[in-house]
Amino acid sequence: EDKVVQSPLSLVVHEGDTVTLNCSYEVTNFRSLLWYKQEKKAPTFLFMLTSSGIEKKSGRLSSILDKKELSSILNITATQTGDSAIYLCAVGSGGGADGLTFGKGTHLIIQP
């Protein structure tokens, strides 16, 4: 059974801090690892990492895939209150129709 584990489950930091969120996985036929941000509604896509693209960066957010360690990190620098959200890690395996296996999420709270 595919498994995705995120840590920590919750995190409270102050505005301006840098945070690192972790995701580890055990899946058969790894295809991709995705990060989503969820505020009060639908998850919104952040990054997708695959064997051919193990590092992604967008503004203050960046992510790295470590295929040897079967894990990924999501870094957020100079955090802002708008970064408060649940961050979901998901892994795609097998065929494209199989959907994604999600971790339980990291609930990040940024205090002013």
Partner 1 sequence: DVKVTQSSRYLVKRTGEKVFLECVQDMDHENMFWYRQDPGLGLRLIYFSYDVKMKEKGDIPEGYSVSREKKERFSLILESASTNQTSMYLCASSFSHDTGELFFGEGSRLTVL
Tokens (6 digits) for 14: 């102050």
Task: For the CB of residue 92, give the shortest distance to partner 1 in the complex, in Å.
Answer: 3
Q: According to the binding rule CB under 8 A, does residue 96 interact with partner 1?
A: yes
Cα–Cα distance, 91 to 68 (Å, whole number): 15
Cα–Cα distance, 97 to 82 (Å, whole number): 33
Q: According to the binding rule CB under 8 A, does residue 76 interact with partner 1?
A: no
Q: Which amino acid is at 66?
A: D
Task: For the CB of residue 78, give the shortest distance to partner 1 in the complex, in Å.
Answer: 27
Q: Toward partner 1, which CB reaches closer, 91 or 110?
A: 91
Task: For the CB of residue 15, give the shortest distance to partner 1 in the complex, in Å.
Answer: 25
Q: According to the binding rule CB under 8 A, does residue 23 interact with partner 1?
A: no
Among 28, 25, 36, residue whose Cα is nearest residue 3: 25
Contacts of 33 (CB under 8 A, 6+ apart): 23, 25, 48, 49, 50, 65, 72, 89, 90, 91, 92
Q: According to the binding rule CB under 8 A, does residue 71 interact with partner 1?
A: no
- Among 21, 65, 90, 108, which residue interacts with partner 1 (rule: CB under 8 A)? 90
Q: According to the binding rule CB under 8 A, does residue 74 interact with partner 1?
A: no
Site residues (CB under 8 A) for partner 1? 31-32, 34, 41-45, 48, 50, 88, 90, 92, 96-105
